[in-house]
Amino acid sequence: MDFYNQIIDSLYISIYFSYLTLCIAFIYGMLKNSLRTNKRIKWYIYYLGFALTIELFTYISIYILEHSNMQHLYPIYVAGEFYIVVNLFLTELKAEKKWKILSGVISLCFLIEAGILWFLNNDASNGFGKILSHLTIICMAVFVLIKNLKELTKSNPLTVIHASLLLYYSVSLFLFMIMDQLNNINLPIWIINAVLASILYITFIYTFYRLNKWSLKSNS
């Protein structure tokens, strides 16, 4: 029982720490004009804002409205996350507008699939949307990182975020796929996910700080 309580305590600590780092990263990005008005950086801030919105609605649903089932948020989460992260990478790759339109169409398909599953089975996660979404994000992260490595003469401060996104979504996909088979260790899995999220948000804070510092130097 004591060990179980320790696991629960670790879970809450890891989750609240991820909330803290997420809030700091988003607020810092919004407060710095050099970041907020940058067309390239805005998708990173959108990502943080979307994640914060989902976490806020989840917290309100569980602790204020006392809902035990969060499946109603899942379709929006999967579709929105895919659209924002893919457009983040497409902006890095300077892709044509047609690819961004295609990402929107695919996001809508994910939304519809998850919505139908939620309506019929009350389980929006029992589909292919999240798996395909994460696989796409992982492939794009690898492609962008390889592109960055080939351009060693150009220092890209966003590379650390791209690497963290690759780590987060790779492990997240693996944990998602094995979770049903490992029901007895779901709590440790959630702890790992929260720790990875914290690492990801810390890289946002670090990168935003560097970008803002460089912007101040270039303007001085």
Residue 136 to residue 46: CA distance in whole angstroms: 19
Domain membership of residue 67 as a residue range:
2-211
What crossing angle do the helices spanning 2-31 and 186-219 adopt, rounded to 10°?
Answer: 20
Average of per-residue pLDDT across 4-18: 87
CA distances to 68, 69, 72, 94, 215 from 124, in Å = 15, 11, 8, 33, 43
Please report whether residue 218 resides in a domain: no
Return the residue matching tokens 């999240």: 130
Could you give the angle at the alpha carbon of 14 between the alpha carbons of 134 and 202, nearest 5°? 65
| Closest of 28, 136, 16, 24 to residue 88, by C-alpha | 136
Query: What is the predicted pLDDT for the residue at 70?
Result: 76
Dihedral through CA 85, CA 190, CA 183, CA 9, nearest 10?
-170
| Closest of 131, 202, 210, 211 to residue 163, by C-alpha | 202
Please report whether residue 96 resides in a domain: yes
Q: By the 8 A CB rule, do 164 and 172 touch?
A: no
Average of per-residue pLDDT across 86-90: 97
pLDDT, mean over the chain: 89
Q: By the 8 A CB rule, do 187 and 15 touch?
A: no
171-205 pLDDT tens trace: 999 988 887 655 555 778 889 999 999 999 999 99
26-69 pLDDT tens trace: 999 999 988 988 988 999 999 999 999 999 998 888 888 877 77
Please report whether residue 164 resides in a domain: yes
Query: What tokens appear for 137 in the block?
Result: 């994000």
Lowest mean pLDDT among 15-19, 39-43, 214-218: 214-218
Please report whether residue 219 resides in a domain: no
Q: Is the pLDDT of residue 88 over 60?
A: yes
Q: Is the pLDDT of residue 22 over 90?
A: yes
Query: What is the predicted pLDDT for the residue at 125?
Result: 77
Please report whether residue 60 resides in a domain: yes
Please report whether residue 33 resides in a domain: yes
127-141 pLDDT tens trace: 888 999 999 999 999
Please report whether residue 216 resides in a domain: no
Please report whether residue 220 resides in a domain: no
Count of domains for the chain:
1
Q: Is the pLDDT of residue 14 over 90?
A: yes
Q: What's 187's domain CATH number?
A: 1.20.1070
| Closest of 137, 42, 43, 122 to residue 75, by C-alpha | 122
Query: What is the predicted pLDDT for the residue at 200?
Result: 98
Query: What is the predicted pLDDT for the residue at 152?
Result: 65
Query: What is the predicted pLDDT for the residue at 188?
Result: 82
